[in-house]
Amino acid sequence: MNRSITFPLKPVVFETTDDRATIALGERLAKFLKPGAIVAFYGDLGAGKTTMIKGVARGLGVKETVKSPSFVIITEYLGRLPVYHIDLYRIRSIEELLHTGFDSYLRSDGVCLIEWAERAEELLPVNTIRIKLTFADSGRQIEIRGLDYRLTEELK
């Protein structure tokens, strides 16, 4: 829990100047996601994790607008695939997390979009797509790792 995360793969780096550009990047990413995909989002409060997830969900055909859940840890949506928006902000231990059924979502045929993913780092599979959002002068810097390199280039 809360240990620093090292990202082994070289990232492809994007910059977005506003929330609409972050949503659009999420929408483009969605077309590369297959059943069982796990996308882990990292970044401080307000960095844009939920904003990008809105775009991914929209790109997956979810009609409802994804919101930041205040108490719920897992919200399910249905697009062309089941979409699980998982926010681990309030999770305090791996034991608590396992009680939510988190690991069964990881093994499902839906797409898991996980905020504060560092809180579940040891449970994430090797093929997890990792997205780190940070504040930049121009808006946000968004680093994507773990997606096939050629596909990531296509997102540009």
Nearest to 132 by CA among 7, 8, 46, 41: 41
Q: Which of 26, 43, 59, 79 binds ligand ADP (CB under 6 A)?
A: 43
SS3 assignment, position 83: strand
Q: Which of 2, 8, 45, 156 binds ligand ADP (CB under 6 A)?
A: 45
Helices 19-30 and 49-59: crossing angle in degrees, nearest 10, is 40
Read off the tokens for 145.
């790792």
Ramachandran quadrant class, 73 (left: phi over 0; alpha: psi -120 to 50; beta: rest)? alpha
Q: Which of 22, 128, 141, 152 binds ligand ADP (CB under 6 A)?
A: 22
Find which of Mg ion, ligand ADP, none residue 47 binds, CB within 5 to 8 Å per kind: ligand ADP
Q: Which of 47, 56, 88, 112 binds ligand ADP (CB under 6 A)?
A: 47
Binding status of residue 49 toward Mg ion by CB under 5 A: yes
Contacts with ligand ADP, 52-91, as mask; x by CB under 6 A: ----------------x-----------------------
CB of 119 to ligand ADP, least distance (A): 14
Q: Which of 38, 50, 56, 84 binds ligand ADP (CB under 6 A)?
A: 50
DSSP E strands: which ranges in the chain? 12-16, 38-42, 74-78, 82-87, 111-115, 129-136, 139-145
Q: Check: CB of residue 28 under 8 Å from CB of residue 155.
A: yes
CB of 142 to ligand ADP, least distance (A): 8
Binding status of residue 46 toward ligand ADP by CB under 6 A: yes
